[in-house]
Amino acid sequence: MPINVKTAGFATTIQDLGRPGYYHLGIPMGGAMDRFAMRCANMLVGNDEGAAGLECVFMGPELEFTQDSIVAVTGGDLPPKLDGEVLDSWSAIEVKAGQVLSFDFLRSGARAYIAVAGGIDTPTALGSRSTYPIGALGGVDGRAIQPGDVLPVGKPASAAKAGAHIPENMRRLPGKIAELRVLPGLYWHRITEKSGTRFFDETWKVASEADRMGYRFKGGTPLEFVDREPPFGAGSDPSNITDACYPYGSVQVPSGSEPIILHRDAVSGGGYFMIGTVISADMDLIGQLQPNVETQFVKVDMDTALAARRERANSLNKVREHLS
Amino acid sequence: MTSRYTFGGDEHIFVEVSEEMSLEAFFTTLSMTNAVRDAKIDGITEICPANASFQIKFDPDVIHPDTLMARLKEMETTASLAEPVLTTRIIEIPVLYQDPWTHETLMRFRERHQDPGATDIEYAARINGYDSVEDFIAAHSGSPWFVSMVGFVSGLPFLYQMVDRDRQIQVPKYLRPRTDTPKLTVGYGGCFSCIYSVRGAGGYQMFGVTPMPIYDPEQKTGYLKDFMVFFKPGDIVKWKPIDRAEYDRCIAAVEANTYEPRIREVVFSLEDFNKDIDGTNARLEEMLNAD
């Protein structure tokens, strides 16, 4: 028995943990921007952590349930309401057939994740239900949800029961000033040492162009380039390279002015140089940044990146233990 | 050619085979990525070749970044010994140059262009020293092109012109990217041509459109039934200029799902090519046109 979409929110998309394996053809892995939150939402309702749910940006949808169900809302602080009554997020909530799940205003963060026991059961494309609108893949007809859509739900696991809760100290969200750890590399040698130091010293702000493809930052000093003779095929701008692959999380700076961090729906390549890459442990946090949030890029080495990765994995393990 | 190895965070290794584009760099990229694929190293999750560089995505929980880096560097020697011969296919792509749809779009974005008084193709012809747009089209469609990268967005091919460097067309990208590009636009930026697989933003100059779909997420198009993306690196393309009547016939065939692209298998040797570029290209064209 499906869920009826009454209103869709701003850009609410069906997401799971993505479709790795096609980046060499320009099809990004996609999937939830904040995977920690997506996994937690699924755990709360007894799903596989990779089941499909809804990713809401800034505002939530209104969803009418046509059968009894268990839902959970995690991620940014977008308080869920059931028939108008505000409920706890990061909790397994019981929903009765006919009830409407809606949302209060966003208090913090940028994206909330809605998991439903059984998972959203739209058809898969290249092994995933994640919505990739540019390539018209996944989701509902390859697009964000719309009013009038009917979302099929899979069979709930027997473990699904209301009441489970993930306390605040087990969650993972960015601080007031967001810190994103960056491993310098790629084309780092193209900027002067002074400029590189300043990039990490200055505080940047999230710009308005911030979506699943990439997050742009503003407010810092433009980068200074090391002089060069443009290589054949690169283009004349000092920020141009012979078109190459872009790592997920890579920080490109077109014309040296505003850094862009590529995220889950990244373009797979292009002709702009990159000065480094946000470490895997901090990718989730980017999904929770609103425009104008102050951001500090922190320079780290590989050992720190790997330690942070283990720490994130441990945080998830603690949630798993807590809920089992 | 000595490659430059660098980490893209804790999940990617990025290898720049050459700063500048060349067929040699592209062939090294292909042979290295093939060697990595054949080595079946545990922990590698994606292998992405580009024009003159490539990228490996890996799971650092399975293989330590330094271990993988060392293994990739070992492979460079083996890969550089590989004979630069490729069994591939040559494909004829019909193009309606100076079509009404890219014209309408380029007129909307004139203030983002270097030469607002000219169209994209007039500008490209002029700065490359051609007397007329017709001469420029003859040059663009006169030699075959290598698909040297697939990416940016879904199934978009980057194509590299198979001529001497001094005859290669070079055109800067728009001053500021457009927010719109018609689907199946034949574009140009730097030394690369491309086909926009889907409608969307873009910074390449727009020369025309092809009626031939190259990306079909629903996999309804006959020749895209097996896989939704048409191109792969190493494909060779020959543009065929067509007029509006021919374009309309192709579109009707595409809509009736009877369109069949002309494709022939060919063997390409980089050494033979370097010895006799025009002769190699003429033979490729003969094979394409043989029945």
- The answer to whether the CB atoms of B21 and A302 lie below 8 A apart is no
Structural domain harbouring B40: 4-82
Low-confidence winner among A80-94, B71-85, B126-140, B269-283 (lowest mean pLDDT): B71-85
Distance of alpha carbon A209 from alpha carbon B281, whole angstroms = 45
Contact B205/B174 with Cβ under 8 angstroms?
A: yes
> Taking all residues of chain A, what is their mean pLDDT, rounded to a whole number?
96
**Would the pLDDT of A189 be above 90?**
yes
Number of domains chain B contains: 2
Q: How confident is the model at residue B291 (pLDDT cuts 50, 70, 90)?
A: confident
**Are B252 and B139 found together in one domain?**
yes
pTM of the predicted protein model? 0.95
Q: Are residues B64 and B93 in the same domain?
A: no
Q: What is the CATH number of the domain that holds B45?
A: 3.30.1360.40
Q: Is the same domain home to B51 and B149? A: no
Residue B1 reports pLDDT greater than 70: no
Q: Could you say which DSSP state residue B3 is in?
A: -
Q: Are B27 and B84 in contact (CB under 8 A)?
A: yes
Domain positions in chain A are 3-165, 178-314
Full strand arrangement of the beta sheet holding A108-116: A13-15, A53-57, A108-116, A69-77, A93-95
- Cα A213 from Cα B207, distance rounded (Å): 27
CATH code of the domain covering residue B170: 2.40.100.10
Q: Does A120 touch chain B (CB under 8 A)?
A: no
AA identity, residue A38: M
End-to-end CA distance of chain A: 28
- Residue positions counted in chain B: 291
Are residue B208 and residue B263 in the same domain, yes or no?
A: yes
Strand A214-218 and strand A203-210: the pairing is antiparallel
Neighbours of B37 (CB within 10 A): 12
Q: Which of A81, A141, A142, A138 is nearest to A114 (CA)?
A: A81
Q: How confident is the model at residue A67 (pLDDT cuts 50, 70, 90)?
A: very high
Minimum-distance CB partner of A20 among B45, B53, B232? B45
Instruction: State CA B240 to chain mean position distance.
Output: 16
Tell me the per-residue pLDDT of B170-202, one tens digit each, with 9 for 90 and over. 999 898 889 899 999 999 999 999 999 999 989
- Can you tell me whether residue A289 is helix, strand or coil? coil
What sign does the dihedral A14-A15-A20-A26 (CA atoms) show? positive
Query: What does the block give as tokens for A240?
Result: 């141009």
- Residue A225 pLDDT greater than 80, yes or no: yes
**Measured between CB atoms, does B127 come within 8 Å of chain A?**
no
Tell if the CB–CB gap between A26 and B173 is shorter than 8 Å: no
- If asked whether residues B114 and B153 sit together in one domain, one would say yes
What tokens appear for A256 in the block?
Answer: 């040296």
Tokens at A81, concatenated: 């309401």
Final residue in a domain of this structure, among B67, B82, B97:
B82
Portion 272-291 of A in contact with B at CB < 8 A: 274, 276-280
Q: Is the pLDDT of residue A158 over 90?
A: no
Residues B195 and B224 in one domain: yes
Give residue B208's pLDDT band: very low, low, confident or very high (50, 70, 90): very high
Whether B256 and B125 map to the same domain: the answer is: yes
Topology (CATH level 3) of domain A178-314: Cyclophilin (2.40.100)
Confidence at residue B79, expressed as pLDDT on a 0 to 100 scale? 76
Nearest in space to B233 (alpha carbons), one of B165, B135, B159: B159
B154 and B52 housed in the same domain: no
Q: Do B94 and B188 share a structural domain?
A: yes
CA dihedral A261, A265, A270, A275 (to 10 degrees): 20
| Residue with tokens 């293994």, as numbered in its chain | B71
Query: What integer is the mean pLDDT of B216-224?
Result: 95
Do residues B123 and B229 share a domain?
Answer: yes
Q: Are residues B155 and B210 in the same domain?
A: yes
Contacts of A274 (CB under 8 A, 6+ apart): A186, A187, A246, A247, A250, A251, A252, A253, B8
CA distance B38 to B45: 13
Does B118 lie in the same domain as B59? no
For residue range B65-121, what is the model confidence (pLDDT) as tens digits? 999 999 999 998 877 777 889 999 999 999 999 999 999 999 999 999 999 999 999
Beta-carbon contacts of residue B264 (< 8 Å; ≥ 6 apart): B89, B90, B287, B288, B290
Q: What residues have CB less than 8 Å from A314, skipping those under 6 apart?
A: none
Tell me the chain B residues in contact with residue A247 when contact means C-beta distances shorter than 8 Å.
8-9, 11-12, 14, 55, 57
Given B82, B110, B136, the domain boundary residue is: B82
Sequence letter at residue A126: L
Amino acid symbol at A168: E
CB atoms under 10 Å from CB of B218, counted, come to: 12
CB interface of A with B, residues 175-234, below 8 Å? 183, 185-186, 188, 231-234
